[in-house]
Amino acid sequence: MKKCPYCAEEIQDEAIKCKHCGEFLGPRTKSRQEDRPWYFRTPTIVTAILLVMPLALPLVWFNPHYSRKTKVVVSFVVLIATYFIWTGTIQAFKTMQEYYKLMM
């Protein structure tokens, strides 16, 4: 028997997880996100999509951890969002141009 380093309760020598406090006793393993290069991690991809929209799609398509379905869905959503953003931007410029013509 040995003591848990977290709660100091008695546990078996072969224990991997403490039955009292629920902490793992062995060396910590990396999460799936930490195993990936920084440019394939989800926060990086989401940030890139929010900043440069369709220019970030290669990060999605070259990511070996995403399924084909995920890649297609993300691409579709990004392209639709890009279309609406561009349409709104063009409409805003047209409206501004009309206001400036009225002012002059």
d(CA 5, CA 46): 38
pTM equals 0.61
Weakest mean pLDDT among 24-28, 32-36, 77-81: 32-36
The pLDDT value given to residue 30: 56
Instruction: Please choose, from the candidates 72, 50, 51, the residue with its C-alpha nearest in 3D space to the C-alpha of residue 61.
Output: 72
What does pLDDT average to over the chain? 89
Structure tokens at 12: 């078996």
Q: Work out the average pLDDT over 78-92.
A: 96
pLDDT tens sequence across 34-80: 678 888 898 999 999 999 999 999 999 999 989 999 999 999 999 99
The pLDDT value given to residue 8: 87
